[in-house]
Structure 1
Amino acid sequence: MMLRDRTAVAGVGWTEYAKNSGVSTLTLALRAIGSALDDAGIRHSDVDGVACHRVGDSVQAVLVAQALGIKDLRYHLDMFGGGGTSHQVVAHAAMAVATGMAETVVCWRAVNARSEFRMGGTGRAAPDALEFQYQLPYGYATPPQQYAMLARAWMHARDAKPEDLGRVAIAQREHARLSPRAMMRTPLDMDAYLASRWIAEPLRLYDCCLETDAAVAVVVTSAERARDLAQPPVLIAGAATGGGHTLFSNGRADATVSAAAELAPRLYAAAGIGPREVDVAQLYDAFTFLVPLQLEDYGLVERGETGGFYADGHASLGGLLPVNTHGGHLSEGYVHGLNHVAEAVTQLRGAAGARQVAGAEVALTTGQPGYVGGTCSALILRRDGDPVHSSGQATAPMGNEGNGA
């Protein structure tokens, strides 16, 4: 059964992005969900499905359902996993709606990732990955350490310089300055980037995502129903999930190409487009190097040309393919992937204000591309009423020649 355009995101909602929310993750979840339902013009009593992802750091989905007053819970997903599963949650909600399991599903991520469960902390139980027992004796325990080795490998393979990562951080900070939600709106230049302290070489302070207390929610329902609601519907044109690297266990030989490279052709085929039809991209950015890596792996820019793509301003507002128009995890806030979906929806509604991409019709939004956690996921969303542009055959990346040149 084809999923293409059968479901839509009808509402989006956020809490404040903060360093200390002062409330529980249940309260955060309910505030974001309430905001999303108000945005869609849907009553709490209309919700019959709930879906979230978490890594032992947030409230159970069934407790959220109880707090919402859902008496007949027709669909329930409580997925264990990090950013690689973030878009899979929305895809599963869309499948539930498309197959009639539920009519209206709320998806959310709620974290007190700064004041409570710090993602890189060691003052908590060890993860249940088998290889962790071999890492810990060497003090190799946190995401920046893990991703630093991957970043070094990618930089070496692409002959990338520190400035190439710096341009990613700077471009996203400029976008964040246009968003009232963003945690970081102070201007950032290359001198400040290069002078920032090392976290784990080659990653500096501004290469690493923020730690954030916040929640984001989206409402998924049928495309037909969404057209009768309060906001312009944003259609879920395509969804795909894939595998990924763990650091030691699954024999992927080249760490400089992520599992997104295998996922991407299936994603474009599901949506019936190629990479040249993407107008705006929200790419998972726990660390700066993941952004140019995904530009390559999703076929948006030729391998080895992302440095020039950023240097020429193509990833900025007004460029060929604006990337992370909200500032991303690096400057807006880290809500573990779902804030990328919310920004894509906002752009396709034409409601992004000063950071709006003119004429945006198709958005690519991605979860973490499979490193460490071993799974990845992504969505293609499109503005309702706009035709799918192609037959789904992948077209060549744009490189530095322009979208559709």
Structure 2
Amino acid sequence: MTDRSLRGRVAVAGVGETLYYRHGRSPDAEFKLALKAILAACEDAGILPEDIDGFASFGNERSDASRLAAALGVRHLRSATLQWGGGGGGCCAAVANGAAAIRAGLAECVVVFRSLAQGEYGRFGQSADLATVSGERAYLMPYGVLAPPQRFAMRARRFMHEYGIAREALRAVALASYHHAQSNPRAVMHGKPLDAGRYDASRWIVEPFRLYDCCMENDGAAAIVLVDAARAKDLPHPPVYVLGAAAGSGYRAGADPHNAPDYAGANFAALVPDLYGMAGVTPADIGVVQSYENFTVGVVMALMEHGFFAPDEANAFLTLENLSAPSGRLPLNTSGGNLAECYMQGFELVVEAVRQVRGTAALQADRHDVALVTGGPMVTPTSSLLLGSEAAR
């Protein structure tokens, strides 16, 4: 471990969430949702809200740090970071930015969070009225490519064609998420199981995505509290250490229009060596994965690029049995993920990874000393995060 590494230097001391709602159903405004999740995380960590001195978020978070600090009675705001671009690709990078602030001495106690009220501000899954379009949208919208499923379907089709990915692999990802949600009373889809027949009969959204290949749209908020590793040992819960983090993308990943050299990919390949190098682990050391599902194909891409299987092994590896907790080969999205727990632009995945490492998840994986979280696939920049227990530190 070099002196510049995050490995084992910063720990998650607390986690908090609001209730999760279908889009437009929250009785609270987005800012109030953020405050509720942060207060819950502080209570879980055993710290006072006024002791927070930093905030980190991503995805164009609207609840800004100064306003949060005023509402929470923060005595001294020292750090405020927002991961630039990539939408849900930044959910792990936000944790890394908060940890880096602590490691650099710029803050002592950083809250990382995401809040969403799609009823208040509009839905991600629908195109918005825009007076001007620029960047990628300028190449897509004139041709009727308006919504995220349309944008990502083209890359997904290319990926499935190049690597021979079967629909059954996508179905296994969806079934695993819904299977795990049935053990999680917080999940929006708790009590609403999914089986193979229902998946296969669901309507097309845009090929190759059926209804259950697509993430939900939700209202709510989630937060974690980061502190220095030494301080974490004096707080109520066993520390969950940041082992490694990486963010960014490869060569010309943001080339327009849909002209990236590695078009049939999720943009993790360039990050993985940095992630594993910092953490000092390999895929074989990872017991449980929380992988961002904007669409099921993106999970297949992410797992492949993180080294869990070779392309020609994907269809055999991706089965409900292999992806199910507690004893599957690689338990995946054990709280239900974006598909079946909620869509907090992936930040609920970080919260679940913390619970898995602590050993307090609703459905616990047998191997949980090291947990991987992957941010949104097929966007740039994206990010990944490895969390671990004292035994893995």
- Alignment gaps of 5+ in structure 2: none
Cα shift at 1:312: 6.5
| CA–CA separation in structure 2 for the residues paired with 1:63 and 1:197 | 43
Residue of structure 2 in register with 1:333 after alignment: 342
Match of 1:309 in 2: 317
User: CA separation in 1, counterparts of 2:387 and 2:302?
Assistant: 17
Partner SS state of residue 172, structure 1: helix
Q: Within the alignment, does 1:280 sit opposite 2:288 as a pair?
A: yes
8 Å CA contact 1:53–1:86 kept in 2: the answer is yes
> Residue in 2 aligned with 1:9?
12
Which residue identity lines up with residue 351 of structure 1 in the other structure? Answer: T
Whether 1:226 aligns to 2:232 is: yes
1:283/1:365 contact within 8 Å kept: yes
Q: 1:109 to 1:127 in 2, by over 3 A?
A: farther
Cα distance per residue 1:148-196 (max 9 Å; x no partner): 1111111112222222211110111000111011111311111111111
Query: For residue 290 of structure 1, what is the aligned residue in structure 2?
Result: 298
For 1:268, the equivalent position in structure 2 comes to 276
SS at match of 2:21: coil
- The one-letter code of the counterpart of 2:11 is A
How many Å apart are 1:58 and its aligned residue?
2.8
Contact 1:238 1:267 in 2 (8 A): yes
8 Å CA contact 2:173–2:320 kept in 1: the answer is no
2:110 equivalent to 1:92: no
What residue is the counterpart of 1:190 in the other structure? 196
Instruction: For 1:274, give the aligned amino acid.
Output: T
Match of 2:183 among 158, 164, 178: 178
Alpha-carbon displacement from aligned partner over 1:292-347 (angstroms, at most 9, x marks no partner): 11111000112232221123721111111111111110110100121111000000
**How many residue pairs are counted as aligned between the two chains?**
383
2:42 corresponds, among 37, 45, 53, to 37
Q: Aligned partners of 2:171 and 2:286: how far apart in 1? A: 24
2:27 aligned partner: 22
Instruction: Provide closer, same or farther for how the CA distance between residues 232 and 127 of structure 1 changes in structure 2, counting only shifts above 3 A.
Output: farther
The answer to whether the aligner puts 1:254 opposite 2:258 as a matched pair is: no
1:97-176 aligned within 5 A: 97-114=102-119, 116-125=121-130, 129-176=134-181
- Kindly indicate whether the alpha-carbon contact (under 8 Å) linking 1:12 and 1:36 is maintained by their aligned counterparts in 2: yes
Aligned AA (1:237): L
1:63 aligns with 2:67: yes
1:114 shift after superposition: 4.9
- SS in structure 2 of the partner of residue 150 of structure 1: helix
SS of corresponding position for 2:271: helix
Q: Which residue of 2 aligns with 1:400?
A: none
Residue 127 of structure 1 and its aligned partner are, at CA, apart by 8.2
Q: Secondary structure at the match of 1:261?
A: coil
1:5 and 1:235 in contact (8 A); partners too: yes
The TM-score with structure 1 as length reference comes to 0.90
1:269 CA displacement: 0.3
Task: Please state how far the C-alpha of 1:121 moved relative to its aligned partner.
Answer: 2.1
Q: Once the two structures are aligned, what percentage of the paired residues are identical?
A: 42
SS in structure 2 opposite 1:313?
helix
What CA RMSD, in Å, does the superposition of the two structures yield over aligned residues? 1.7
For 1:356, give the aligned amino acid: Q
- Give yes or no for contact 1:17–1:212 (8 Å, CA) kept in 2: yes
Give, as a single letter, the amino acid of the residue that structure 1 aligns with 2:13.
A
Secondary structure, aligned partner of 1:364: strand
* Candidates 206, 215, 223, aligned match of 1:217: 223
2: distance between equivalents of 1:39 and 1:187?
30
Q: Any gaps of 5 or more consecutive residues in structure 1?
A: 389-405
CA distance in 1, matches of 2:219, 2:331: 26
